[in-house]
Amino acid sequence: MDIKKEKETMETDISLVMDIKTGNKQALGRLVERHKKLAYQIALGLVGNRDDAFDISQEAFLRVYRSAKTYDESQPFLPWFYRIVVNLSRTWLKRRTRQRKRMVDVDDNAYLLVDTHDPEQDLIKAEMISCLNRALLELPFEDREIVMLQHFRGMSYDEIAGILNIPRGTVMSRLYYARKKLAKLMERSNNG
């Protein structure tokens, strides 16, 4: 995204939140339309279940509506919104018991599958994705979060640093160690 378009988007998000502060529900609707896919994808990457991710993304917009009066318009919207989604996801995971732990459906990650018109290869890829999903859900929340942002959302180190409010070097370090943990979990899963 070029700087001009990014600035226009940021200004529009901020103006929508300012309108929400005044009770404008249409502004909330426009904000939802603009960011519902992002909210869902972030929540899905963190909690690993479509239904839970949908509920979390809906609750995130309700929180935006309820918290609009506390929003600091001098700050960009997306990091603030991202923290809302992450905090809701973290709370959701704490409440969820081990017995209810569910996996991401393979369909949720269908974009990772390349249709080779070879059923055997497609099955192998589906099994690899299932293994990856299990390993991701075993990672500590902070590791899963940073892997999801970099590898599944395609964010740069600088973008992640801005969203998480940490230095770029910390992003690089956390990502390095998270990848190592993920690789060990994948290896253990493949050997088990």
Domains and CATH numbers, the chain: 1-96 (1.10.1740.10), 112-192 (1.10.10.10)
Q: What is the mean pLDDT of the chain?
A: 82
DSSP class of residue 165? T
Residue 179 — pLDDT band, cuts 50, 70, 90? Answer: very high
**Tell me, what's the pLDDT at 117?**
67
Residue 97, SS3 per DSSP = coil
**pLDDT at site 129:** 75
DSSP state of 58: H
| pLDDT in the model for residue 189 | 74
Torsion of the alpha carbons at 179, 182, 184 and 188, rounded to the nearest 10 = -160
- Terminal Cα distance for the chain, rounded: 43
Higher pLDDT, 112 or 128: 128
For residues 161 and 167, the answer to whether their CB atoms sit within 8 Å is: yes
- Residue 6's pLDDT is 56
User: Are 71 and 53 in contact, with CB atoms under 8 Å apart?
Assistant: no
Q: Which two tokens stand for residue 22?
A: 């005044």
Backbone dihedral angles phi then psi of residue 92, each to the nearest 5 degrees: -60, -45
More confidently predicted of 97 and 167: 167
Comparing C-alpha atoms, which of 89, 90, 82 is closest to residue 162?
A: 82
The rounded distance, in Å, linking the Cα atoms of 131 and 154 is 21
Statement: residue 98 has pLDDT above 50: no
pLDDT digits (tens, 9 = 90+) for 23-40: 888 999 999 999 999 999
Residue 99: which pLDDT band, with cuts at 50, 70 and 90? very low
Which tokens belong to 127? 């099994």
Residues 6 or more apart in contact with residue 135 via CB below 8 angstroms: 182, 185, 186, 189
pLDDT at 87 over 50: yes
